[in-house]
Structure 1
Amino acid sequence: MVITEIAGYIGALIIGIVLGLIGGGGSILTVPVFVYLLYVNPVTATAYSLFVVGVSALVGAIRNIQKGLVDFKTAIVFSIPAFIAVYITRKFIVPAIPDTLFSLGEYTVSKNTGIMVFFALIMLIASFSMIRNNNKEDKPRQAVKLNFPLIFIEGFIVGLLTGVVGAGGGFLIIPALVLLAKLPMKKAVATSLLIIAIKSLIGFIGDIETMSIEWNFLLSFTAVSIAGIFIGVWLNKFIDGSKLKKGFGWFVLLMAIYIIIKEFTH
């Protein structure tokens, strides 16, 4: 048990280091670390992940606000539907999912299996986004009319998806901010962290109201992850983040395949 706890906290440190190095993506590992290393129930793991992701993103967002990289107007328009959707998902939808989703003969798919497989599918999408790594250099952009209705709808959809799996969803948010809000890539990444922080932490409130939280464990795990962020930011001076992001994308792809195989051969 001690060994698995140590492995879990090492995982927390790695999550933070990855976040500090490439500015996102590391949070996609939070649920697998909770479930497979610390043996936390998947539903509880997605709740804990929202807190870890939210606090970690908030640390990054504060740094970006100090640098003047956050577009507050877009963040507010995107965050409002996103945090409403996450809160509804955590407070009402996740608790309402039946313990047994469906049965095929002797084979039964449980709620926990369903959540982990759905999470793995989200990981697959995230991995392709990181492997493609289409971060183009920022170019001056002409003033455009922001497509706020589409931003609002996208925010709600992202809130629903990430509410179920407990992920940050930067791989969904950043393209939306670039395409719909016409933000340069650096501003999109910085603004996405503020959106992730707001929606994740407010969504976690829905969990506080429906389940008991082991605060000592959760706060210590989060503290280790935040320490990892600062290590990652320091390492970023010596390591090419874009190359690392692509390599990490392949790792996430393998992790997603592992989760699917493990859940269906459970």
Structure 2
Amino acid sequence: MSTLLLALVAGGVVGLCLGALGGGGSVLAVPALIYLLGFSPLAATTASLVIVTATSATALFAHARDGQVRWRTGAIVAAAGLLPAALGGVLAGQLPPALLTAAFAVVAAGAALMLLRPASAREPEGIRGRWPVAAGTGAGLGALTGVLGVGGGFLAVPALVKPVGLRMRAAIGTSLLVITVNSLAALTTRAGTADGLDWAVIAPFTGAAVLGAWDGKRLAAKAQGRTLQRIFAYVLLAVGALMLLDSLL
């Protein structure tokens, strides 16, 4: 299969995940760029930020039209992550590739396990009384975005559902705001690592991801929230296990 075709297929899958699940794009983009398209771990995490920023901004617009973005909650979470994302972007260039891969795998598996936990009784949706939780969540997501080159959506969705208290569809839409802001902040500190990136691969990958995000948004409108959570969790577990195995061999 040609490199261009691989980039288009991988991009479509990444966009579908971001549009439907509010995350998972980067957790799939990074391994696709490494194992299918030959990028180094550092180059893959930088390219992933480019792809996920463009795709999440597109998906955010689609979810906002349906009123599924909680702007105040998202702004608090995103703002708290700006500085950690920038600092994490600087740190990433100093870490060994195997450590980046292993850390990525462990974080993905942890998010999956959080999503698979039985649902508890839902409190009324809203940010009132949860400001410290939202800010702490944002800082942690920002740091992970900077270090691992992920948008943070695969952690933002479970964090917005569980500790913050949003319903699944609102968490999906709101996470896209967090992803967009965090990815931009991390990308600004990685400008030096953008040299040498293969834009002939990144451009079609991004274009396919943007188109896939619209289809993903339509899928989210039809599927049950709990079903989306489980699909998302099993994908994360599989990817995390494969990447952890690769980092140890």
Corresponding residue of 1:252: 236
Residue in structure 2 matched with residue 223 of structure 1 by the alignment? 207
Counterpart of 1:70 in structure 2: which amino acid? Answer: V
- Cα deviation digits, residues 109-159 of structure 1 (max 9, x gap): xx11111111111121232244447498x7755x77333334223211211
Please name the residue that 2:85 is paired with: 86
Question: 2: CA distance between counterparts of 1:7 and 1:210?
Answer: 23
CA distance in 2, matches of 1:184, 1:218: 33
Cα distance change, pair 194–39 in 1 and its aligned pair in 2 (3 A): same
Q: Secondary structure at the match of 1:96?
A: coil
Q: Which residue is equivalent to 1:96?
A: 94
Q: CA 1:216/1:32 → structure 2, altered by over 3 Å: closer, same or farther?
A: same
One-letter identity of the residue aligned with 1:40: F
2:99 is matched with: 114
Letter in 1 for 2:33: F
Q: Percent identity?
A: 27
For residue 9 of structure 1, what is the aligned residue in structure 2? 8
**Unaligned stretches of 5+ residues in structure 1:** 98-110
Distance 1:8 1:130, change over 3 A: farther
In the alignment, which residue of structure 2 is the partner of 1:262?
246
Distance (whole Å) between structure 2 residues aligned to residue 93 and residue 34 of structure 1: 21
**Letter paired with 2:172:** V
Displacement of 1:211 in angstroms is: 3.5
Show the counterpart of 1:233: 217
Q: How many pairs align?
A: 248
Q: How much has 1:60 moved relative to structure 2?
A: 1.7
Q: Which residue of 1 aligns with 2:74?
A: 75
Which of 170-179 and 35-44 deviates more? 170-179
Shift of 1:188: 2.7
Structure 2: 5+ residue stretches without partners: none
Cα shift readout 1:20-59 (whole Å, capped 9, x = no counterpart): 3334324311100000000101011111112222222111
Residue pairs, 1:1-266, within 5 angstroms = 3-90=2-89, 92-97=90-95, 111-132=96-117, 134=119, 140-141=124-125, 145-178=128-161, 181-212=164-195, 213-235=197-219, 242-243=226-227, 245-265=229-249
- Structure 2 vs 1, CA of residues 21 and 148 (structure 1 numbering), >3 Å: closer, same or farther? closer
| Distance (Å, rounded) in 1 between the aligned partners of 2:215 and 2:134 | 34
Paired with 2:160 and 2:231, the residues of 1 have a C-alpha distance of 24
Q: 1:194 to 1:260 in 2, by over 3 A?
A: same
Greater CA radius of gyration, 1 or 2? 1
Find the residue that maps to 2:190 and give its secondary structure: helix
Query: Aligned residue for 1:106?
Result: none
Counterpart residue identity of residue 209, structure 2: S
- Shift in CA distance, 145/264, structure 1 to aligned 2, threshold 3 Å: closer
Quick one: distance in 2 between partners of 1:175 and 1:247?
Answer: 13
The equivalent residue for 1:102 is none
1:222-256: CA deviation from partner (whole Å, max 9, x where unpaired): 11111122233345576666435424532432222
Opposite residue 47 of structure 1, the aligned amino acid is T
Looking at structure 2, the residues matched to 245 and 68 of structure 1 have their Cα atoms a distance apart, in angstroms, of 20
